[in-house]
Amino acid sequence: MPNNTDGSRDTYSGELKAPALLKYLADFSTNKPASDDGDANAAGGGKSKSGSKSSSSSSSSSSSSSEPAWAFVRQLSGNVSAELAALDGREEMALLAVHGAEGEDGCKHAREAFLTAAGDMQAVVDTVLLSAPAAELEEGGEGAKALAALGLDAAALRGGDACELQVVLLPFGRDKSELDDYQRYSGPPEGKALQRWVTDAVPTFTTQLDDMSAGTFLAMDPSEGRMAMAPKVLLFTNKDEAPGVYRALAMAMRGRGNMAFAWVQAGSAQAARAVESFKPPRVPFMMVVLPQQAPPPEDDPSGGPGLRFGMQPYFGPLKYTPMREFLLDLASQIETTSGVVNDPELVKKALPQISSPSDLEVHCTSKAGLCLLALLDSEAAGFEEEKKELLSLALKAGSGESTAFHFAWIEGRKHKSVMQAFGLMHSDVPTLVALSAKRMRFAVMPAPEDGSSRGARLRAEAVAKFVEGVLGGKVRTQALSDLPEVKSGDEASAAADLPRSGSGSSSAAAGSDAAAAGASAAPEPEAPVEEEFDLSDILSEEVEGSELAGAGKADRLKEVEEQLKAEEEARRAEEAAKSKKSSKKKKKSKKKKASAASSEEL
């Protein structure tokens, strides 16, 4: 039970798990008060206690050691009309600051002042600092017209007031020009004032909870069962409305992690039971409630499953940036568990696309375990759904080097050589190939039994069954004479379909040559040699040039050393036995025995 800075004691009421406990204790080790200056007010905390400025400054200094607080600001210059059109076409709100002087040091002081204020404001909205070249500001030009449409004064940017920053807030929603809700900022160049002005305009993506509405809100699932869970973010505040920073947080996190946001007025009589149920340790306070299915009660098993709630309290500073990072981490975990992800980099890592020989080597043939290579057609109607199913499996399987299998995909019809290597035809796409590059063997996922004109349906259940069969030795494999080649301009067409062959690339090539020479001259193909994959072999594969290869060499070296040691011990034992036998027969003196024993040790 740690002591607060004012001498009072604070009781931990969160989960009894290491990460939550560590975070809770870390907050006290830095002697931070419950509320931070500025953002605590924005989050509904009222006035902050003395000492908050020092803790805030220390926090800022620690974060600035890596990058400046304003690093999120996008600094642009050049084609004004194109940049503004891009901002106008996006759904997100945007804060735009424009000046007119050119050059590396153009309007340097004005730029620095805005960046400092933006750093204090934090990334509550997309923020852009635009340097407008003189050529873009000419009267009647496209740049001047685009600025005027936002309510900005292009003439002032051409004249002596070029370095007077003009700041405008673009509203939330698409087709912003039709909304015609651009707002000019006329306040001081100070971060907190700028933050209040921006967040006041943020639309509402939060719900106020009371005792009547809490149950319905907590049971709601926006994904309708598609996600692993439906977390509810709750803010307990003394204010009578949702704080601006919290509304900005809800707007930024919309669509992420199946989250829904609500706030509770702690002093309201209508929310007394809700406050008592969740027991926030202080106000303001943010927590994430994780509803989970609970088994039916023992006394009424026919009553159906109920709900139980896990709690993930947030003990960090009540500032936009750390709160958003906390929620982003949680959202990423939920999305990964559910096989849904919005991070392009994570998608590329979990399900990389192969479009070059190096891609094939890096993402498929050089990695340990099975390469599950999906041959897809991006122009087909079911492409997005098939890719989504594969991504879900890839995320759940993990993308580490130690896994027994890993996923990748390739445009099958754009890489004829790859299709030929596995004896596939145009109509076989989409399909999945399990490839062991080390053993030069492969297996193709069978087509559906419904006689569909397209290839295998890459549904999660079917793919999982196929992979389980391969790893369990229930699916027969075929030999591969050469690894497939990825070539550019290697399109496959329906007219170029090859007869299906089960003998790999050599069979496919032989089939092509035979077709050119005439069907009558084609030799009878040999029956394919089939073999089962051995899971133990797959899991023990070593990758040349990787950490696994290093580990394999070390193991072999250790084995050789142990073998040499055993041979040496056996030799010594044999010599000792011979010496003992000889001593009994010849009855040598003790001196000679000692000499013989001494010579043995040498």
β-bridge mates for residue 310, sequence order: 290
The confidence score (pLDDT) of residue 111 equals 92
For 479-517, write each residue's pLDDT tens digit. Answer: 998 999 888 777 755 444 444 444 444 443 434 343 444
- Among 258, 265, 261, 294, smallest CA distance to 280 is for 265
Summarize pLDDT for 234-262 with one digit per residue, the tens.
Answer: 999 999 999 999 999 999 999 888 899 99
Mean pLDDT of the chain: 75
Same CATH topology for 74-200 and 206-338: the answer is yes
pLDDT, residue 19, reads 57
CA distance 206 to 248: 10
Tell me if residue 409 falls in helix, strand or coil: strand
The mean pLDDT of 328-341, rounded to a whole number, is 80
Q: Which CATH class is domain 74-200?
A: alpha beta
pLDDT in tens, 264-280: 999 999 999 999 999 99
- Residue 169 near residue 203, CB atoms below 8 Å: no
CATH class of 344-539: alpha beta
Does residue 188 carry a pLDDT above 60? yes
- Pick the range with the lowest mean pLDDT from 146-160, 340-354, 472-486, 578-592: 578-592
pLDDT at position 339 is 67
Whether 250 and 256 have beta carbons less than 8 Å apart is answered as no
- pLDDT score of 48: 39
pTM of the model: 0.55
Q: What is the pLDDT of residue 257?
A: 87
- Whether pLDDT at 395 is above 90: no
* pLDDT value at residue 381: 82
Band of the pLDDT at 332, cuts 50, 70, 90?
confident
d(CA 217, CA 284) in angstroms, rounded, equals 20
For 51-79, b/e burial (b = at least 16 CB within 10 A) is ebeebbeebeeeeeeeeebbebbeebeeb
Mean pLDDT check: name the lowest of 136-140, 153-157, 428-432, 521-525: 521-525
Section 375-388 average pLDDT: 85
CB 391 within 8 A of CB 341: yes
CA distances from 230 to 257, 260, 279, 487, 602 (A): 8, 8, 21, 45, 75
Residue-level pLDDT at 13: 61
Phi/psi at 447 (nearest 5 deg)? -70, 160
Q: Torsion over CA of 460, 461, 464 and 470, rounded to 10 degrees?
A: -130
In the CATH scheme, what is the homologous superfamily, with its name and number, of domain 206-338?
A: Glutaredoxin (3.40.30.10)
Tell me the pLDDT band of 597, cut-offs 50, 70 and 90. very low
pLDDT band at 117 (very low <50, low <70, confident <90, very high): very high
Please give the average per-residue pLDDT across 185-195, as a whole number. 93
Give residue 401's pLDDT band: very low, low, confident or very high (50, 70, 90): very low
Query: pLDDT category, 26, cuts 50, 70, 90?
Result: low
48: helix, strand or coil:
coil
Give Cβ neighbours of residue 484 (< 8 Å, ≥ 6 apart): 360, 415, 417, 418, 421, 422, 505
Q: Is residue 187 scored above 60 in pLDDT?
A: yes
Mean pLDDT on 526-536: 49
Q: How confident is the model at residue 400 (pLDDT cuts 50, 70, 90)?
A: very low
**Residue from 27, 511, 542 nearest 281 by CA:** 27
Contacts (Cβ under 8 Å, ≥6 apart) of 459: 389
> pLDDT by residue (tens digit) across 432-464?
999 999 899 999 998 776 555 454 578 878 888
Q: Where are the domains of the chain?
A: 74-200, 206-338, 344-539, 552-601
pLDDT at 537 over 80: no
Q: Across 30-148, where does the E strand assignment appear?
A: 74-77, 94-99, 126-131
Kindly report which listed range (55-64, 123-132, 310-319) carries the lowest average pLDDT score. Answer: 55-64
Contact between 404 and 371 under an 8 Å Cβ cutoff? The reply is: no
Residue 556: CB atoms within 10 A of its CB come to 11
Over 90: is that where the pLDDT of 565 sits?
no
**What is the model's pLDDT at position 129?**
94
The share of the chain scoring above pLDDT 70, in percent, equals: 65
